[in-house]
Structure 1
Amino acid sequence: MLKLFLQRALLRPAGHVFPSGPRQAAPLLGLPGTRMGTHGRKEPREPLNSPQRAREFIYRLQPAERSCLLRQLQSFESIAIAQETLETSPPSAAQIRYVLFHNAIPFVGFGFLDNAIMIAAGTQIELSIGVTLGISTMAAAALGNLVSDLAGLGLAGYVEALASKLGMQSPDLTPKQADMWQTRLSCHMGKGIGITIGCILGMFPLLFLSDDDDKEEKKAQACSDTESHSS
């Protein structure tokens, strides 16, 4: 039964929740195919409809999480079976907006951390290792992205905890409403809007780096002027 529940229920959109029972926010980084940061690796996104992928997902969970998942899947399947013959109306505009915001808020934090750490680390690498080894600016940016991804692995849990403390509960949708294209579209739009806002806010280190660049240019120009006068 657990395999059937995993095959049928784990392919829900990120905005999907179980209408009954305790509301649990799905871990954003625990699901296969979920990427942290804006520069994700080009990995094939294999769906969770094979026994191997389902086992991999189960093994990553803690015992309490597995028990909670089983209870919620059983509750979800019972509600879905009961509503198979019922005509379900599409999600309301308020529910669509709530799904959008619910998915956007955590990704604002992910985009902010990704861009801010990448810019700060890339700049420091370029000014230190880059000068010593003579690497290019793009190589320094790539190393900064590496530092950003490694930092994101440890900070992801804090971002999720902070997003949950904002008080936004999971949207209350029926199983059929969770599978509708309006819900999926709102889910993806929320993630896209959130990561865009986060990346733009994460560019704030550039405000401090521009002054340093101007000073370096003025210093280099002054040195060139001094050499020209001395010659």
Structure 2
Amino acid sequence: MATPARRVCLAPAARALRRPRPRAPLLAFLQPDLPLVAPARARGLSAGASHVAAAEQAEHVPLPPLRPTASQLRKHALSCAVPMVGFGFMDNTVMLHAGNAIDLTVGVTFGLSTLAAAACGQICSDVAGVSFGGLIEAAAGRLGLPSPDFTEEQRHSTIVKNVGLLGSVVGVITGCSMGLLNLLLIDAEQAGEMKMAAISSAMGFSVSISNTTCEGRTVLVLEGPEGIDGVIAAVTTAIAASGCRIQEMDGHRGHRDEDRENVSLNFRFALTKDGRQVEDEELEALGRSVMKACNNPERLHQLSVANEELRRKNDELAWRLAQMQASMEAHLLTISKRRSEELLRTRSSCRRSDVQSSLE
């Protein structure tokens, strides 16, 4: 036990320990950046904190996406190409059949060209594509095509987008090429014949052209009302302007079956072009030119007269040009000939030398 003297001596120290001390020195001691901490301790704490921060940062950094494999890209190209094959086939099919129907109906009635009918058919094709595009995609989905199983990062990569675009392009080209087979089911000459028949019925003339009537020649038959001046001249001019030659021509007057009182003309032309029949692709153009000549013979006659006048002036200008060239050559060309006296002297000297040689 402590004696009373020791208790008295330790009393000030005990009171000092019981006093509340400020916490600032303790907090300063715990902070690593203050000089109260030992240098080694400070280095250890800072290294540990940096490792923890690096680990946390590595957890939040996304990893680069894996490159798609060749098998995935093939599956993706196939899944993009198959729907476009159906779309291209439907697009061309609707356009061809709708354009042909418009050409045979509205085109004949209002005189629309084939290109205008094709443009109207393209409108119908686009409407069908918008209306039934979902059905085509659904049908392609039911085929059980393999899925590429891309991740979200791979799906947005550049190579996946380019492969999908290439597959779509190949698919639509294949489908449109298959749609061209519909041309085998369409009579391309029917619209032209109907348009020509509509024009001829409106003006009273009818023109028929055939490559099967006569061997080696194209036969053109013209029927129309009598009393229109210049029709035959206009027709022959139109035939000549088309590059064809008339080998035979005969005609007669007759009556139409519908009306026995009206007299009609019937002319038959046997034509050749470059020594053979007119090509099948050129028959429609020839028939149209003949019909225009029948419908407006005066205009064609005026054009023929103007053409002859231009030809005459051209021949006259060619003759004047030849005269001018001859005159210029005469002025620019100079010819100097030997004199006749010198020629006689040369001949006499030659004779003397011949005589002397004979005497010797």
Q: TM-score, normalised by structure 1?
A: 0.57
Gaps in structure 2 of 5+ consecutive residues: 1-58, 194-206, 212-218, 223-248, 252-266, 268-360
Change (3 A) 1:90 1:112: same
| Alignment check: 8 A CA contact 2:208 2:221 kept | no
The alpha-carbon deviation at position 216 of structure 1 amounts to 6.9
Of residues 130, 147, 150, the one that matches 2:124 is: 147
Of residues 61, 66, 89, the one that matches 1:112 is: 89
Map Cα deviations across residues 170-194 of structure 1 (whole Å, 9 max, x no partner): 4201122112211011010011111
Q: Which residue of 2 aligns with 1:55?
A: none
Change (3 A) 1:220 1:197: farther
Q: Which residue of 2 aligns with 1:194?
A: 171
Inter-partner Cα distance in structure 1 for 2:60 and 2:150:
12
Inter-partner Cα distance in structure 1 for 2:60 and 2:115:
55
Inter-partner Cα distance in structure 2 for 1:215 and 1:137:
9
Q: Which residue of 2 aligns with 1:226?
A: 221
Q: Helix, strand or coil for the counterpart of 2:68?
A: coil
Of residues 128, 144, 160, the one that matches 1:183 is: 160
The alpha-carbon deviation at position 84 of structure 1 amounts to 5.8
1:137 aligns with 2:114: yes
What amino acid does structure 1 have at the position aligned with 2:175?
A: G
Q: Which aligned pairs between 1:38-53 and structure 2 lie closer than 5 A?
A: none
Change (3 A) 1:175 1:121: same
Q: Which residue of 2 aligns with 1:213?
A: 189
Map Cα deviations across residues 64-117 of structure 1 (whole Å, 9 max, x no partner): xxxxxxxxxxxxxxxxxx996223331111111111011111111111111110
**Which protein has the bigger strand share?**
2
The alpha-carbon deviation at position 139 of structure 1 amounts to 1.1
Runs of 4 or more above 6 Å deviation: 214-217
The alpha-carbon deviation at position 208 of structure 1 amounts to 2.1
What amino acid does structure 1 have at the position aligned with 2:161?
A: R
State the superposition RMSD in angstroms: 2.7
Count of residues in Structure 1 that have an aligned counterpart in Structure 2 = 148
Q: Percent identity?
A: 36
The alpha-carbon deviation at position 156 of structure 1 amounts to 1.8
Map Cα deviations across residues 22-56 of structure 1 (whole Å, 9 max, x no partner): xxxxxxxxxxxxxxxxxxxxxxxxxxxxxxxxxxx
Change (3 A) 1:194 1:84: farther
Of residues 163, 180, 185, the one that matches 1:203 is: 180
Q: Which sits farther off after the overlay, 143-152 or 118-127?
A: 143-152
Q: Helix, strand or coil for the counterpart of 1:99?
A: helix
The alpha-carbon deviation at position 215 of structure 1 amounts to 11
Inter-partner Cα distance in structure 2 for 1:221 and 1:136:
21
Inter-partner Cα distance in structure 1 for 2:170 and 2:73:
14
What amino acid does structure 1 have at the position aligned with 2:210?
A: A
Map Cα deviations across residues 191-221 of structure 1 (whole Å, 9 max, x no partner): 1111111111111111122x5539978x942
Q: Which sits farther off after the overlay, 85-94 or 119-128?
A: 85-94
Inter-partner Cα distance in structure 1 for 2:127 and 2:119:
12
Q: Helix, strand or coil for the counterpart of 2:148?
A: coil
Inter-partner Cα distance in structure 2 for 1:138 and 1:216:
13
Q: Which residue of 2 aligns with 1:128?
A: 105
Inter-partner Cα distance in structure 2 for 1:83 and 1:130:
69
| Alignment check: 8 A CA contact 2:104 2:191 kept | no
The alpha-carbon deviation at position 222 of structure 1 amounts to 2.5
What amino acid does structure 2 have at the position aligned with 1:222?
A: S
| Alignment check: 8 A CA contact 2:93 2:179 kept | yes
Inter-partner Cα distance in structure 2 for 1:116 and 1:185:
28
1:164 aligns with 2:141: yes
Inter-partner Cα distance in structure 1 for 2:66 and 2:123:
46
Q: Helix, strand or coil for the counterpart of 2:149?
A: coil
Q: Helix, strand or coil for the counterpart of 2:220?
A: helix
